[in-house]
Amino acid sequence: MHIGIMSQGAIASILAWRLQKLDLPYCVLSKRPLHPVQIETLEGEADMVLPPGCNGKIPDVLLVPLKAWQVMTALEPLAAKLRQTNTVIALMHNGMGVAEQVHALLPDNPLLAITTRCGALRIESQRIRLTGTGLTQAGAVANISEPHMAQLSELFSRLLPPFEWQQDINQVLWDKLAINAVINPLSALYQCKNGELLQPRFDLLHEQLAAEIAAVMDTAGVSRSAAQLLASIRAVEQATAQNYSSMNRDVTAGKPTEIDFINGFIKQKGAATGIATPLNNELVELIQDGKPPRW
Ligand code: KPL
């Protein structure tokens, strides 16, 4: 099984490093010239990755660890070639809504969604720090056969352990979306670390957001109480207290954010099902317009 990785981003570089260590055949697809990357491990050791380019070769499994807003732009130029193959497309990003677009672009390719607690940070242009490891979950979006499932489970158990195959990845993605929809925009607007959101002054915002998200999730067939969502959000704030969220980093760096695929997705689902989501809508606007919060 030949594996391709799209880009040389932080998580993409961790994947390349792991594949190199496992001695599995892989290559990197990138519009930019490839460069060596130094990986700093959790133990503080340094290791080098020298990724091979794909040079036009289409891999059997294509890992897509890109930001939600980058995925379609990266896949569109490859679509004609990919349609002629049975390449498995593995999406790895925050937010929801992209998988449907990818499925429309590549209706016959096997498609899966992955979510991982493995974290990485670019500290210099060619230095990536592994900031944490944790559970990785994947599940079928479309066209995943039983043999695919067995092969992919084996691959991910080696690549990103601990790993679980999920029969219903949609539920896992909604649960992750709820966490991102609170932590990411609030930590970006208040320019704070995740743990600072545990302060009582943010309690009401948490409660209102959890109530809106639980109501929208219910219409998507994922039944969670606002209290259940709050408990999982609080647990992530505790566990990642010293970290800055990805949206905080994007806003600080003046880069585009994933807001349209996080709170924007909730806003869109709410509008389609008649559920009011005023606070989610306001967060989308504030992040898009770069405005300070009024609360
Ligand atoms: O996924 C994350 C992100 O920053 O995007 C969380 C879970 C909020 C951790 O920071």
ipTM of the complex as predicted: 0.97
**Where does the pLDDT of residue 132 fall: very low under 50, low under 70, confident under 90, or very high at 90 and above?**
confident
Domain with CATH 1.10.1040.10 in the chain: 171-289
- The response to whether residue 136 sits with its C-beta less than 6 Å from ligand 1 reads no
Mean pLDDT for 247-273 is 97
pLDDT value of position 186 = 98
Contact (Cβ atoms closer than 8 angstroms) between residue 245 and residue 191? no
Mean pLDDT for 62-91 is 98
Mean pLDDT for 13-35 is 95
Say how far apart CA 111 and CA 162 lie, in whole Å.
21
Question: With 90 as the cut, is the pLDDT of residue 53 above it?
Answer: yes
Smallest CA separation from ligand 1 atom 2, residue: 245
* Percent of the chain predicted with pLDDT > 70: 100
- What's the whole-number average pLDDT of the chain? 97
Say how far apart CA 117 and CA 286 lie, in whole Å.
27
Q: Is 57 a catalytic residue?
A: no
* Contacts of range 141-146, beta carbons closer than 8 Å, 24 or more positions apart: 141/91, 141/99, 141/102, 141/103, 141/111, 141/112, 141/113, 141/169, 142/103, 142/107, 142/109, 142/110, 142/111, 143/108, 143/109, 143/110, 143/111, 144/88, 144/110, 144/111, 144/112, 145/110
- The response to whether residue 243 sits with its C-beta less than 6 Å from ligand 1 reads yes
Pocket perturbation via mutation, ligand 1, pick of 236, 251, 261, 287 by most ligand atoms within 8 A of CB = 236
Q: Where are the beta strands (DSSP E) in 148-271?
A: 163-165
**Where does the pLDDT of residue 31 fall: very low under 50, low under 70, confident under 90, or very high at 90 and above?**
confident
Say how far apart CA 274 and CA 276 lie, in whole Å.
6
Q: What's the gap between Cα 183 and its chain centre?
A: 14
Say how far apart CA 177 and CA 170 lie, in whole Å.
10
**Where does the pLDDT of residue 122 fall: very low under 50, low under 70, confident under 90, or very high at 90 and above?**
very high
Structure tokens that stand for 246 in this block: 């990805």
Q: How far is the CA of 58 from the centre of ligand 1 (A)?
A: 31
Domain with CATH 3.40.50.720 in the chain: 3-167
Contact (Cβ atoms closer than 8 angstroms) between residue 181 and residue 213? yes
CA atoms within a 13 Å half-sphere pointing along the CA-CB vector of 35: 11
- The response to whether residue 183 sits with its C-beta less than 6 Å from ligand 1 reads yes
Say how far apart CA 77 and CA 260 lie, in whole Å.
23
Structure tokens that stand for 178 in this block: 């709820």
- The response to whether residue 245 sits with its C-beta less than 6 Å from ligand 1 reads yes
Contact (Cβ atoms closer than 8 angstroms) between residue 110 and residue 1? no
As to burial, measured by CB atoms within 10 angstroms (0-12 exposed, 13-18 middle, 19+ buried), residue 200 is exposed
Beta strand 61-64 pairing with 3-6: parallel
Domain 3-167 has CATH 3.40.50.720: yes
Say how far apart CA 3 and CA 57 lie, in whole Å.
10
- Write the CATH number of the domain with boundaries 171-289: 1.10.1040.10
The Cα-based distances of 153 to 105, 159, 262 in angstroms read 25, 10, 27
**Closest ligand 1 atom, CA of 249?**
4
Pocket perturbation via mutation, ligand 1, pick of 118, 173, 184 by most ligand atoms within 8 A of CB = 184
Smallest CA separation from ligand 1 atom 9, residue: 245
The Cα-based distances of 39 to 14, 29, 220, 222 in angstroms read 7, 19, 40, 38
Helix axes 226-239 and 203-219, enclosed angle (nearest 10): 120
- The response to whether residue 184 sits with its C-beta less than 6 Å from ligand 1 reads yes
Question: With 90 as the cut, is the pLDDT of residue 80 above it?
Answer: yes
Pocket perturbation via mutation, ligand 1, pick of 11, 66, 67, 94 by most ligand atoms within 8 A of CB = 94
Angle at 92 between CA 114 and CA 260, to 5 degrees: 120
pLDDT value of position 160 = 97
